[in-house]
């Protein structure tokens, strides 16, 4: 596991969110804008317990952007969206308290 300081966590805004029926576990495909330095990235996220796709669009999220790409079914997930998990399938998204520019680093 990488040292915590080596994980690049950034704020991004969800541009699109759609159901991902091909995934083994209920998930959404997200497209997230991380600003000009990182760009637009995709993620598969297990957020179906508390969120509908239309509720995610426009929402800022926090993601680890330097962990590499992971193939999930037919989809390349490029970033890991972060959340609290009180139960294995119960994900509550982490997000900034106030709006910040896309790409803002989490320290």
pLDDT at 88 over 90: no
pLDDT, average across residues 89-94: 92
pTM score > 0.75 for this model? yes
* Token pair 């959404």 in the structure block, residue: 28
Whether the per-residue pLDDT at 28 is higher than 70: the answer is: yes
Domains of the chain: 4-93 (2.40.50.140)
Whole-number pLDDT of residue 2: 54
Residue 37, pLDDT score: 96
Q: How many CB atoms lie within 10 A of CB 39?
A: 14
State whether residue 6 is helix, strand or coil.
helix
């Amino acid at each position: 596991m990488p040292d915590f300081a080596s994980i690049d966590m950034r704020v991004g805004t969800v541009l699109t969110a759609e159901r991902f029926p091909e995934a083994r576990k209920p998930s959404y495909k997200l497209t997230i804008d991380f600003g000009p330095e990182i760009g637009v990235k995709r993620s598969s996220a297990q957020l179906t317990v508390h969120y509908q796709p239309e509720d995610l669009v426009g929402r800022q999220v926090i993601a680890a952007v330097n962990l590499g790409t992971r193939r999930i079914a037919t989809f390349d997930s490029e970033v890991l969206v972060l959340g609290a998990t009180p139960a294995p399938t119960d994900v509550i998204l982490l997000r900034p308290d106030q709006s910040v520019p896309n790409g803002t680093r989490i320290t």
